[in-house]
A and B are shown apart, each in its own frame.
Chain A
Amino acid sequence: MAAVGGSPGPAGAVLDRWPFVGRRLELDSALATVRDPAHSGVLVAGAPGLGKTRFAQELLAEAAADGRPTASALASATVATVPLGALAHLLPTSVVLAEGDGGSLHAVRLLALAREALADADGRLVLHVDDAHLLDAVSLTLLSQVVQDGSVSVVMTVRSGEPLPDALDALCRSDRLLRLDLAPLDPGSVDTLLHLALGAPLDGRAARAVTEVAAGNPLFLRELVRAGIDSGALTLVDGVWRLDGVLPPVRRVAELYDGRLAALDDESRRLLELLAVVGPVPLDLLAQIAPFDLLERLEAEGVIELEPTARPDEPELVRLSHPLFAESLRAGVPSLRWRSILAQHADRVEGWPGRRPDDALRIASWRLDAGQPVDPAVLASAAHLARVSLDSALALRLAEAWHRSEPTMTTAALCGEALFELGRWDEAEAVMHDGTSLPGDDPARLKLGHVRTTNLLLGLLRPDDARESARTELEALGADWTGDPLTPAELRSRVAIVELFAGRPDDALAVLGELPPPGPDEHDARCYVLWAIAGVQALALAGRPVAAVEVARTAMALHERIGGGIGFTYHYAHRIALLLALQEAGELTEAAASAHEGFAAAVQVGSSLGQTWYALELGRNALVRGTAASAQRWFREALSASASPGWPGQRALALSGLAAGNALVGDLDGARATVERLTALPGRFGFLEPERAVGEATLLAAEGRLADARAVLLAAAARAADGGQRTVEARLCHEVARLGGERDVVERMARLARDGDSPLVEARHDHVAAAVARDADALVAAAERLEALGCLLVAGEAYASAADLVRAAGDQRAANGLSVRATACLDQCEGARSPVRITTDAVVPLTAREREIALLAASGVQSKEIAERLYLSVRTVNNHLQNVYTKLGVSSRAELAGVLDRGPTDDG
C-alpha cells in the first residue's frame, strides 16, 4: 500500500499506491448516505485527478466491511459503443444478448430483468460506476431506474466541467443521491499527503514548489513528484526530501502524461495503447500478449493496475491507472493503427478460451469500428438490443451494418425503425420500400409493413399512402390464409391504427369488426389485445369511452399475461389508449394520475414520443378542467418533448393547446404567435385534429370576436362529425355554446349525449340544454355535475349564468349565493379569464350582446368597427356601451378595460 509501514526507499515507495488523505469527513457522510435506505447513493463530482475514483473505492471498501455486496463498472469512451457495455459483466447473458423472444423483448421487460439481476445480490448491492458521463444510454437508463427505486446503492463518479447528457443531468439532480463535489486538497492536506507518501518530510523549498504547481490535485502531485525523482531534482538527503534544480515544466493537468508518453519504449507503448483503445483487458489474456515482467514494471511505474473484482467468477482485468492517461494515449494513435489494434484484439478475444458470452457484443463493436465485417448473428442481437433500449442512433449503426452484410426484410425494418425514431422519415421510407422485395418470411414481412405504415402515418403524414399499404396487405391475405392465424388480426389492427390517426374512428371500428372474446386460449387473448391497440381509442372517440375503458383494462391485463410476442414497439400503447378513454369519459382525476405516472416512466426510459403523448394528455386534461396555467405548462412540455425529431401531428396539438392556454390567461400576443406557428404546420394528422380549433377560437373570444370564434368552432365540429370523432365534436359544440351559440348546437349535443355513453358529454349537454331553456335549477344541476367531474371553468360559468337568471327574476339573495359558488370554481382556474366571468361581478348582469360589445371595447376596438363586425349601427353599439358603463359603474373605456382586467391591445 502506501510507503507508510514499508521502508521509505525513494522511487519504489513513491510509485506505490498513495495514501488517501484529506477526505475523511466527506467519506463519513457518503458512507452514512450509502447506509441510509432512503437514499440511493452518492454522486462524486470533480475535476480530473482530484481522486474521485479513489474516493469511491474507499467508500466501497467501507461498505464491504459493513457486509454489503459491491461491484464496479467502468464506463469509458470505448465501452460506450455497445448497449449496456459498462454493466454487461454484472448482468445475465440473456439480458445482454437480448435472447429469447426473438429480440422483441421490449425495453421495459429487458430493463426489469437487468434490475432484478442487480437487486438479486445478497443484501443491497453497492454499485460503483466510474466516469458515468461516458455511460451508454441503456446503462444510464438502467441506472436511473435503480436510483429511482432504491434497489441498489449507486456510487457514481462524474467529471465536472463537461456538459452532461440530459438523462445523466437529470439523474445528477435526483434528490435520492447525495452530491459531493471534490475540491482541491488544501495546502495542509497536500503537505500531509506528501509526507506520508514519501515517507519522510520535504524541506520548505521543495514543499512550496510542489504544492504551488499541483494546486491541490493529488494526481498532479504524484506525477510531479515522480518526475522530480526521475530527473534527480528531488533527492532524499539525511531523512529529508530536498529539491535541487527545477521541477518538470508541467502546467496543466491535461499535459500531465506528455512527458511519460515521450519516454515510452515501443513494447510498453504498444501494450498501453491497446488498453487505451479497447479498455480493460483480462490479466490472463494480457499475460499471453506481453511478458509478465513488462506488466510488473508498468505496474511499478504506476501506469497500469489490476481492477478490483467484486465476484470470484469474474476475470481480473488490467486497466490504465487513470482515464487522463488513456485520453493522452488515444490522442496519439493514428486512425489506421487504431483500426488494426481493434481488429487484432477482436481476433485475439475470439480465439481465446476464456472468452465470456458478453464479449460477443464488444467484439462486434470493435469490428464495426475497425470497418470489418461482423458476425451477423451477433449484429442481430446487438441491433435488437439497441432498438429495445431506445438508443436509436446506435440501433441505426448496428442495423445498417447488418443490412449491408446480409440485407433482408428484417434488416430493412430495423433500419427503417431507427430512421423513423430519428425523424429521418424519407430515408426510412426509401429503405423500407426497397426492403419489400428482399427475402423474408411472413413475420418479417409483417414487421416491415408495420414499421412502414407507421412511418407513412406519423412521420411523413401521408395517411392515404399508409392506408393503401396496410389495406393492400390485408386484402392480399385472402380468405384461404394458412399462415400464422394471428396475422389477419395484426393486419386489421394496423389498418385500424391508420384510420384512427387519420381521424376516422368509425372506419377503424369497421375494419376491426366485433370485439373478440378475451379468452380462454392464448390466440383469443392475442386477438383481443390486437383489437384493443387501435380499438380502445377509436371506441372512445366514437362516443363510447366508458366501454373503451373496460376494454383497455382487460387488454392491459391480458397483455401482461401473454408477455411480448406482439409486433408493437410501444409499451405505452395501452396506457395512452386507456388515458384517452378515461379523459373522454370525464374521469379527469384518474386520467391525470395515470398520465403523470406515464410521463415519469417515459422520462426514465428516455422516450420523447412517450413524453409527448403524456404531456399532451395532461394539457388536454387541464384545458377540460379550465386550469389555464397547468395547461400552458403541459403543452409547453409536449412541445419541447416533440421538438426532436419534430413529430408534426403531436406538435400541432401542443401548439393549439398552448394557444388556448395563453388566451385563457389573457396573454393574447403569446396566443397569436402560437396560432401563427400552428398555421405553418402541415395538417394531415386527423387524430384529434378538429381540437386544434380550440386554440384559435379561444384567442378570438378573448379578443371579443365571439361570432368568429363560433364559426371556427362550428367548422371544426363538422370535421369531427365527418370522421366520427364524436367526443371531440361534443367538446367543440360545448365551446360554441359557451360563446353564446347555445341554440346552434343544442340538438346536436342531445343526439351525441343520447347515442354515446360518456358522462362528460352528458354533462356538457345538460349545461347547454339548461342554458337554452333558461332554467336556473337545471343550470345549477348541470354546474354541480360539471364541478364534480372537475370541469371547473365551465361549472363556474354555469353557476354564473344561473345567478344571472335568478337575479333577473328578482331573487338577489339566491343570486349572490350562486355568484359565490361561481367564483369558488373560477378561482381554481389558475388565472383563466372566462368571457362570462365579468357578469358575476356586476350588480346588474350584462346581456350577451352587452358582454360581447364590452369585451371588444375593452380591447380597444372603436365603436365604428364594433358596429361593422356585429352588423349593428354605431348608435346601437354606443347605447349598449352606455348601459354597460352604468351597470359596471364606470365612465370610460380605460376604466372598463380595468374592470374587465384586460388592457387595450394594439390591433384589437
Chain B
Amino acid sequence: MTPEQIELVQSSMQELGAGDDVVRRFYDRVFELAPETRSLFPDDMEELRTGFLATLTELVASLHELPDLALQSRALGARHRGYGVQASHYAVVRAALLDTLASTLGDGFTPAHAAAWGQAYDLLAEVMQQGAAASAGGPSIASRRPR
C-alpha cells in the first residue's frame, strides 16, 4: 500500500462510524455470497458484530505500524483457523466487505477507495493466514553457532 492508500482507508473508516447497521449488512452479505459459512458462526451474532467492527477499526488505525498490526492479526488469524475458516472464505469476506462499503458510502467510495481497501484487506488477510499456518521456517545457521 502506498501512504496515500492508507490515508484513504483510514479516512473512510472514520466516515463509516460505529453503525451497527453496517455490520449487520456486512454479515448478511457474507451469508448471501457463501451460505455454507453461516454454520461456522454462533447463532447469536450480537456480540460478534461489535467485536468485529472494533477490531477492524483498530487494525486499520495501525496500518502504519506494521509490527503492531502483525502481532494482533496473527493471533486473530490463528483463532480463525480454530473457527474452521479456510483460505477460500477470505475471498468471500473480502467481496462482502467491499460491497458493504460501496453501498454505505455511496459516491464517496471511488475506485481509488476500492483499490485501497482491497489492498488493506489483502494485507490483513495474508498476515492472519500467516498466523494460522504451521510454521515452515527451519532453524538458521546462526542458531547453530558452536559455543
Contact flags (1/0) for B1-25 with A, using CB distance below 8 Å? 1111110000000000000000000
Contact B66 A199 (CB under 8 A): yes
Alpha-carbon distance between A287 and B144 when the two chains are bound, in angstroms: 10
Alpha-carbon distance between A27 and B135 when the two chains are bound, in angstroms: 14
Contact residues in B for A202 (Cβ distance below 8 Å): 2
Most buried by A among B118, B133, B138: B138
B: number of interface residues (CB 8 Å): 38
Alpha-carbon distance between A662 and B122 when the two chains are bound, in angstroms: 62
Q: How far is the CB of B14 from chain A (nearest CB, A)?
A: 20
Identify the closest chain B residue to A307 (Cβ): B138
A: number of interface residues (CB 8 Å): 54
Alpha-carbon distance between A316 and B139 when the two chains are bound, in angstroms: 10
Task: Take A4-B127, A195-B1 as given contacts and tell me if A62 and B134 are in contact as well, using a CB distance cutoff of 8 Å.
Answer: yes
> Does B70 belong to the interface (CB within 8 Å)?
yes
B residues 108-147 with Cβ under 8 Å of A? 118-119, 122-123, 126-127, 129-130, 133-142, 144-146
> Does B88 belong to the interface (CB within 8 Å)?
yes
Contact B141 A296 (CB under 8 A): yes
Task: Take A21-B126, A189-B122, A308-B138 as given contacts and tell me if A8 and B67 are in contact as well, using a CB distance cutoff of 8 Å.
Answer: yes
Alpha-carbon distance between A57 and B122 when the two chains are bound, in angstroms: 22
Q: How far is the CB of A7 from chain B (nearest CB, A)?
A: 7
Contact A203 B141 (CB under 8 A): no
> Does A359 belong to the interface (CB within 8 Å)?
no
Identify the closest chain A residue to B66 (Cβ): A199
Identify the closest chain A residue to B73 (Cβ): A4
Contact B70 A24 (CB under 8 A): no
> Does B45 belong to the interface (CB within 8 Å)?
no
Contact B2 A25 (CB under 8 A): no
Task: Take A28-B87, A192-B119, A299-B141 as given contacts and tell me if A4 and B136 are in contact as well, using a CB distance cutoff of 8 Å.
Answer: no
Contact B134 A61 (CB under 8 A): yes
Contact residues in A for B141 (Cβ distance below 8 Å): 283, 295-296, 299, 304-306, 318
The contact of B66 among A54, A200, A299, A300, by CB within 8 Å, is A200
Task: Take A7-B67, A19-B130, A21-B126 as given contacts and tell me if A296 and B142 are in contact as well, using a CB distance cutoff of 8 Å.
Answer: yes
Alpha-carbon distance between A202 and B64 when the two chains are bound, in angstroms: 11
Task: Take A4-B66, A8-B66, A8-B67 as given contacts and tell me if A20 and B87 are in contact as well, using a CB distance cutoff of 8 Å.
Answer: no
The contact of B123 among A62, A196, A283, A299, by CB within 8 Å, is A196
Identify the closest chain A residue to B125 (Cβ): A24
B residues 59-111 with Cβ under 8 Å of A? 64, 66-67, 70-71, 74, 86-88, 90-91
Contact B133 A62 (CB under 8 A): yes
Identify the closest chain B residue to A186 (Cβ): B122
Task: Take A20-B130, A58-B133, A62-B133 as given contacts and tell me if A27 and B87 are in contact as well, using a CB distance cutoff of 8 Å.
Answer: yes
Contact residues in B for A356 (Cβ distance below 8 Å): none
Contact B130 A201 (CB under 8 A): no
A residues 160-195 with Cβ under 8 Å of B? 188-189, 191-192, 195
> Does A1 belong to the interface (CB within 8 Å)?
yes
Question: Given A4-B74, A199-B67, A296-B142, 8 more contacts at CB 8 Å?
Answer: A1-B137, A4-B67, A6-B67, A7-B67, A20-B136, A204-B4, A305-B140, A316-B144
Question: 3 nearest interchain CB pairs?
Answer: A308-B138, A65-B134, A61-B136
Q: Which residues of chain A have a CB within 8 Å of any CB of chain B?
A: 1-8, 17, 19-22, 24-25, 27-28, 54, 57-58, 60-62, 64-65, 188-189, 191-192, 195-196, 199-204, 207, 239-240, 283, 287, 292, 295-296, 299-300, 304-308, 316, 318
